[in-house]
Structure 1
Amino acid sequence: MSSKADPPPSYEEALKHPKLKKYPFQTRHGGALPPPPPYSPSTVARVSPPGYRDQRGVYPQAGMCPCPCVPPSVMPIPTLSAGLPASSPGEMDDFFSNQWESTSVRHAFIRKVYLILTVQLAFTFAVVGVFTFVDPVKQFVIRYPAIYWASFAVFLLVYCILICCKGPRRRFPLNLVLLGIFTVALSYMAGSVSSYYETKAVIIAMGITAIVCVAVTVFCFQTKVDFTSCGGLLSIAAVLLMIIGVVTAIVLSFHYVPWLHMLYAAIGAVVYTLFLVYNTQLLVGNRELAISPEEYIYGALSLYVDIVHIFLFILQVSGAATE
């Protein structure tokens, strides 16, 4: 390598003195080489490998590849996540925090629904107990059946309003008041029906209803079977139950087939147990369909209606069995 004190000979001197073999500019096979390109920084940048700026700067820059075919800025860096979209630690933290927040919101929603449901059931079974064990109240209900039909009308009206107005937070006070009216109406209906049966039959129906509700709740929280995709089948079952009820009412009015009433009550208890499974899985939220966490009043309402209807159907079965 030449030094700055001993510069290389010029092109003309190299052609005149071919013995200077350490320089590439010499004749080969009797012909002269083409003249080299003029020196300029752009020329050196084009023909030099990355990191070699000119003849004076012969050391490559740190971290740069000497291969001129691949620019250092686009050199692939192998990673463990090759082929996957890049994600920063902040994005992963946001993902896990969102998952945790959704789970905690769902758990708070379930606790709120079951708290409202507990208050409703406590009030309803308290009314049923009063109508069953207090004889003056029992006789009053039997003597004035018009109050029962008035409560039934209130039940249907308020139920339709709550179904149509479910969800929005701005209507929360109104929904809560309507839910209270609905609970009072359905409690009076359940108490009125219970007043026609013996005390033993009512107690048996309460016990069986409690066992069924606990078993269904545990089953829904543990099973992997998705009942929320069976809404169409449940709708068909509800229509068939209504048709069977109409046929039973017509047949019993002529005192034909007395056991048909008991069969209808057993089918109704099974159908509403399936509805309880469906609505409980909607409440849990880890299935195909789920209730929004803002609709806790609707969630409590659906479970409450299912449980009360299960109690009434089982009461008809136990009452017919004890007579």
Structure 2
Amino acid sequence: MTNEPPIAKTDLETGPTGALYPTMSESPELRWSFIRRIYSIVAVQLLLTIAVATVVTLYHPIVNFLTTTRGGVVCFLLLFITPIIISWPLYHYRQRHPVNFVLLGIQTVSLAFVVGLACALTSGKMILESAILTTVVVMSLTLYTFWAAKSGSDFKFLGPFLFASLMVLLAFGLIQILYPLGSLSVMIYGCLSAIIFCAYLVYDTDNLIKRYTYDDYIWAAVSLYLDVINVFMAFLTVFSAADG
């Protein structure tokens, strides 16, 4: 008989090298598959947003209709509030296929029109600067969150602070609409928005790694997509205020 060295066990539940965080008890392969699915959905949403926003920006009759006619203004208001209104049924039916994907598509397209109109009212230079900065920030914070989770950090504590910050941001925006305070105020609002939604990106990515269930893939994708879009819109607001 030959004395062979014992074969190392690779039981997934005992902390394999592929674990995303130290206390992980589920299969890393399943969680990684879930994460890839989420980012695939978000990628499709972003591509759809870019396509629709590009058409709105380059096809001037759409912008003229939405900004100069009474019916167009009504359509824009409907497009603006649709993503908010549809969030409730989307959350309620987030696990029911294919209704969840239909609602997700409606929310994405309506929000893409809003992004396209915002881009149409700014210069191409600002759009490019905002897109580049958003790409750098999103990729950096995503990689950082995965590294921090692997190192044992947890960002669950950010939840209450982010909710309170979002309420302050909404109140600030309402005040700005009713009582415009000038370009400096708009710039401050944009900077605060960028900071808050960057923090949301870290928080939602951490939830994606640790807390979202496999059936919540739609809501996880919605959270990350909205974070990216809001970061982009915040940077666009800052650059527009600085230019004005």
Relative to the length of structure 2, the TM-score reads 0.83
Q: Give the aligned residue type for 1:240.
A: V
> Partners of 1:125 and 1:298 in 2: how far apart?
21
Shift of 1:97: 11
Distance verdict in 2 for CA 1:184–1:94, change over 3 Å: closer
Structure 1: 5+ residue stretches without partners = 1-91
Greater RCO structure (CA 8 Å; 6+ sep)? 2
- Secondary structure (helix, strand or coil) at the match of 2:129 reads helix
- 1:166-206 per-residue CA deviation (whole Å, 9 max, x = no partner) reads 3x3xx121111111111111111111222221222112111
Residues 12 and 26, structure 2, Cα contact 8 Å, conserved in 1: no
* Sequence identity percentage: 29
Residues 265 and 317, structure 1, Cα contact 8 Å, conserved in 2: yes
**Which 10-residue stretch deviates more, 144-153 or 203-212?**
144-153
1:146 corresponds to: 74
> Partners of 2:64 and 2:11 in 1: how far apart?
65
2:127 corresponds to: 202
> Partners of 1:198 and 1:94 in 2: how far apart?
52
- 1:35-83 per-residue CA deviation (whole Å, 9 max, x = no partner) reads xxxxxxxxxxxxxxxxxxxxxxxxxxxxxxxxxxxxxxxxxxxxxxxxx
Greater percentage in helix: 2
1:307 corresponds to: 228
> Partners of 1:309 and 1:94 in 2: how far apart?
37
1:220 corresponds to: 145
Indicate whether 1:251 and 2:176 are aligned.
no
Shift of 1:133: 3.0
Matches within 5 A, 1:53-202: 95=13, 102-143=27-68, 144-166=72-94, 168=95, 171-202=96-127
Distance verdict in 2 for CA 1:94–1:186, change over 3 Å: closer
> Partners of 2:74 and 2:117 in 1: how far apart?
11
Shift of 1:296: 0.8
The aligned length equals: 222
Shift of 1:282: 0.5
Distance verdict in 2 for CA 1:94–1:227, change over 3 Å: closer
Q: Give the aligned residue type for 1:165.
A: Y
Q: Give the aligned residue type for 2:209.
A: V
1:267 corresponds to: 192
Distance verdict in 2 for CA 1:261–1:131, change over 3 Å: same
Residues 269 and 313, structure 1, Cα contact 8 Å, conserved in 2: yes
- 1:230-284 per-residue CA deviation (whole Å, 9 max, x = no partner) reads 21111111111112222222331xxx44311111111011111111110011011
Residues 158 and 178, structure 1, Cα contact 8 Å, conserved in 2: yes
2:161 corresponds to: 233
2:209 corresponds to: 284
Distance verdict in 2 for CA 1:94–1:135, change over 3 Å: closer
> Partners of 1:104 and 1:93 in 2: how far apart?
12
2:21 corresponds to: none
Question: Please, what is the CA RMSD of the aligned residues?
Answer: 2.3
Residues 115 and 233, structure 2, Cα contact 8 Å, conserved in 1: yes
Distance verdict in 2 for CA 1:122–1:94, change over 3 Å: closer
> Partners of 1:203 and 1:138 in 2: how far apart?
20
> Partners of 2:120 and 2:186 in 1: how far apart?
18
Residues 142 and 196, structure 1, Cα contact 8 Å, conserved in 2: no
- Secondary structure (helix, strand or coil) at the match of 1:294 reads helix
Structure ID, larger Rg: 1
Q: Give the aligned residue type for 2:156.
A: T
2:214 corresponds to: 293
Shift of 1:101: 6.3
